[in-house]
Structure 1
Amino acid sequence: MPTPINVQLAPQLKAKPDQTKLGFGQHFTDHMFVMDYTEGTGWHDPRIVPYGKIELDPAAMVLHYGQAVFEGLKAFRTEDGRLLLFRPDQNMARLNRSNDRLSIPPIDGDFIIHAIKELVNLEKDWVPAEPGTSLYIRPYIFATEACLGVRASYRYLFMVILSPVGAYYAEGIKPVRINVENDYVRAVRGGTGNAKTAGNYAASIKAQEEAKEEGYAQVLWLDGVEKKYIEEVGSMNVFFKVNGEVVTPELNGSILQGVTRASVIEVLKSWDLTVTERRISIEELYEASLNGTLEEAFGTGTAAVISPVGELNWGDKKILINNGQIGEIAQKLYNTITGIQNGSVADTFGWTVQVETVKA
């Protein structure tokens, strides 16, 4: 039997937001999951409590040395009222890989999935039913020990908060314009690029801001050594269809091992399409665009699932992809994976986990 989770109900529930105007990460549910870690005791005191502020000592080590990791997954409401999670075991496995890189104690992934199911079940009325909507789930861990010493903390807080979110594309899935980053570096091998840690995202904000000022929606990161090989698009992994072959950057230690990325690869292979994980240079893509063999490009991630790319800006060179239109493979992938997530497409892969059957 799993460790009992103490539940403290909120004395007053919030008004639910308009499901047609949710946005992303702007609304939060009535409760959250919390668990403590103390050196010598381990993870303890799992509880669901009212959503609210937390208290930190000014010397909490996360504020000074950045020991913080997180995950992102979603719960979906099906037409028949079921609540589904999408591959939560993969998120827990990645969370523990991030923990290991940041010297944070590992968590019991099965227990955390159990806790997430308990929390989502409690907050089931917050899971939206509008097409394209979902309940975003954010598990995270950070160091809480009060100490100004450069070492791993002896205390941590694990939390899960929930946020009902709208469709990532308010007007439908459309290709985006992306700037190839030549100045800033996201990560290098041996660094923390393959960990989902807060510092990686802080380091990416400057390039993202500058790209938006130039009218681009995202940043395409190149490797941090030669500034030559493609790594990621913003907070997503990236795929290209070149001369009939789907290629994606290989996991080299500086690229995040995306859950959607892995799912896309499995789906493509089930369609008998060739998928290759290897190094891809921006020069190779440019040449492919000139000779007409660059057919599609798209990013993959939890938030958007599939984000088609219509144009890359590389210095003074413009790489137009599929005439700025969404490609056949990207559209089919989007329909298939979102269909599996919301229960409208048969889950032949065994990826979804049911929380509970509830009224639609």
Structure 2
Amino acid sequence: MAKQMLEVMKSVHGKPKPEADELGFGTYFTDHMFVMDYTEDQGWYCPRIIPYQPITIDPAAKVFHYGQTVFEGLKAYHGSDGEIRLFRPEENLARLNRSNDRLSIPPVDEAQMLAYLKELISVDKEWIPREVGTSLYIRPFIIATETKIGVIPSYAYKFIIILSPVGAYYEEGMDPVGILVEDEYSRASRGGTGEAKTGGNYAASFKAQERATASNKSQVLWLDGIEKKFIEEVGSMNVFFKINGEVHTPMLNGSILPGITRKSVLELLHDWQIPVHERRISIDEIIGAHRSGTLEEVFGTGTAAVISPVGVLQWEEKEYVINNRETGTLASRLYETVTGIQTGELPDPYGWTQTIATKEVVL
């Protein structure tokens, strides 16, 4: 498909920008958004950047009834050198298309969408915060808009990208968080939608998250949906365990989201010649390692938090304190390396970042 002309309609009145210490996560949104539509006869058409605004959708749209929707999450960073960088955006768009395939949504042209995304960020570049630990969170998503209540895939869709200046995902920042190991509810099982980034996966996790919150824990650690024995992932992160000097993480098995930060961490560990194993890991093994004193660190990886150390695991009503609730040296090194590359403070020998031209878009 030939690249279509991008229409840009700028907002006349910009919104006030929040202070860095007010940001939180996902609370404020920039002045503009990207929208593109799809029908079976036209394909993806009419790409446009417009002022941020509500969207009008028919009550019969299939997204409301059958949850046919996918989304992604990535970030833009303002470096001290003045450059704006994206971190591995091509990986996010490739994963978006894998989610599209699982949800029977037509694929998007990844190269075109990346170009459109860069234009949107260029238009709203003044919204990218500059303070340490802040960034511009990018949320692309696709919803089914066909107005027909029939249990078949939609023939019409809307692709939207919104932007949000953010601070730390967890209030704890890089301080270790508490995690509840979930033994009642299931997140996903092989053959389901666990490896797709779709809304229903997250809505189904809310009940377990409520239990975690009631136990003063930040997140849920999910076990497999069949035996309730093998570790899968944390609600918003992949998970890693450092045991006796070696790193272990659950292998991708069809029910675990293939995280881009996870992939980056694995590549760094291999490069640093730290032994790392992708395999099945039981919760009993982790508890055994804790009891033997060989469980040295636990941390999560994800776009929102980057690296999040875990200070406490709660399993079967008992708490297991990890590394005296202190951030481990490996988690710190990974965080400093990944964020350093993302912001340009460190060299990028892997070619993970892409810069964005900060030119004004000509209307």
Please report the TM-score for the alignment, with normalisation by the length of structure 2: 0.97
Match of 2:189, as an amino acid? V
Where 1:178 maps in the other structure, the secondary structure is strand
Output the CA distance in 1 between the equivalents of 2:152 and 2:234.
32
- Of residues 117-126 and 171-180 in structure 1, the stretch that sits farther from structure 2 once superposed is 171-180
Q: Could you tell me which amino acid in structure 2 is paired with residue 241 of structure 1?
A: K
Q: State the match for 1:275 in structure 2.
A: 276
Cα displacement (A) at 1:172: 4.4
Asked whether 1:13 is paired with 2:14, we answer: yes
CA distance in 1, matches of 2:240, 2:226: 21
How far 1:170 moved relative to its partner? 5.3
Contact 2:136 2:166 in 1 (8 A): yes
Measure, in 2, the Cα distance between the counterparts of 1:219 and 1:278: 20
Question: Judging changes above 3 Å, is the alpha-carbon distance between structure 1 residues 211 and 172 closer, same or farther for their aligned structure 2 residues?
Answer: closer
Structural RMSD (CA):
1.3
C-alpha contact (below 8 Å) 1:168/1:304 kept by paired residues: yes
1:147-158 alignment, distance < 5 Å: 147-158=148-159
CA contact (8 A) 1:20 1:130 kept: no
Look up the SS of the partner of 1:295 in the other structure.
strand
What does residue 64 of structure 2 align with? 63
1:250 is aligned to 251
- Hey, what's the Cα distance between the residues in 2 that align with 1:164 and 1:315? 38
Amino acid at match of 2:257: L
Partner of 1:189: 190
Per the alignment, residue 138 of structure 2 pairs with 137
- In structure 2, distance between residues paired with 1:263 and 1:342: 15
Return the letter of the residue paired with 1:165.
V
Partners in 2 of 1:119 and 1:87 — Cα distance?
Answer: 17
Which residue type is aligned with residue 189 of structure 1?
R
1:98 aligns with 2:77: no
Q: Quick one: which amino acid aligns to residue 68 of structure 1?
A: T
Q: Which residue of 2 aligns with 1:218?
A: 219
Preserved contact between residue 189 and residue 225 of structure 2 (Cα < 8 Å): yes
Task: Tell me what 1:291 maps to.
Answer: 292
* Per-residue deviation, 1:269: 0.8
- Give, in angstroms, the shift of residue 14 of structure 1: 1.0
Cα deviations across residues 193-237 of structure 1 (Å, max 9, x unaligned)? 000000000000110011101111111000000000000011110
Contact 1:178 1:218 in 2 (8 A): yes
Shift, 1:151, TM fit: 0.5
Shift of the 355–331 alpha-carbon distance from structure 1 to 2, 3 Å rule, reads same
User: What is the deviation of 1:245?
Assistant: 1.0
Q: Give the number of equivalent residue pairs.
A: 359
In the alignment, residue 349 of structure 1 is paired with which amino acid?
A: Y
The answer for unaligned runs of 5 or more in structure 2 is none
CA contact (8 A) 1:67 1:102 kept: yes
Alignment-derived partner of residue 201 in structure 1? 202
- C-alpha displacement of 1:319: 2.0
CA distance in 2 between partners of 1:277 and 1:289 (Å): 19
- Residue 331 of structure 1 corresponds to 332
Please give the alpha-carbon distance, in whole angstroms, between the structure 2 residues aligned to 1:251 and 1:22.
33
The residue that corresponds to 2:267 in the other structure is 266
Distance (Å, rounded) in 2 between the aligned partners of 1:170 and 1:345: 26
Counterpart of 1:107 in structure 2 is: 108
Aligned to 1:76: 77
One-letter amino acid matched to 1:56 = I
Q: Which residue of 1 aligns with 2:343?
A: 342
Q: CA deviation at 1:127?
A: 0.6
1:15-34 matches, cutoff 5 A: 15-34=16-35
Following superposition, the deviation at residue 316 of structure 1 comes to: 3.3
* Aligned amino acid, residue 280 of structure 2: R
Q: 1:171 Cα deviation (Å)? A: 6.0
What is the CA-CA distance between 1:2 and the residue it aligns to? 3.0
* Amino acid across the alignment from 2:104: S
How high is the sequence identity, in percent, across the aligned residues? Answer: 61
| 2:305 aligned residue | 304
What amino acid does structure 1 have at the position aligned with 2:181? V
Q: Structure 1 residue 52 and structure 2 residue 49: aligned?
A: no
Which stretch has the larger CA shift, 86-95 or 5-14? Answer: 5-14
- In structure 2, the residue matched to 1:40 is 41
CA 1:111–1:159 in 2, change beyond 3 Å: closer, same or farther? same
Assess if the C-alpha contact under 8 Å between 1:70 and 1:139 holds in 2: yes
In 2, distance between residues paired with 1:210 and 1:29? 33
- Equivalent position of 1:146 in the other structure: 147
Give 1:169 deviation, angstroms: 5.1
**In the TM superposition, what is the alpha-carbon distance from 1:317 to its structure 2 partner?**
3.2
Counterpart of 1:180 in structure 2 is: 181
CA distance in structure 1 between the aligned counterparts of 2:280 and 2:170, rounded to whole angstroms? 30
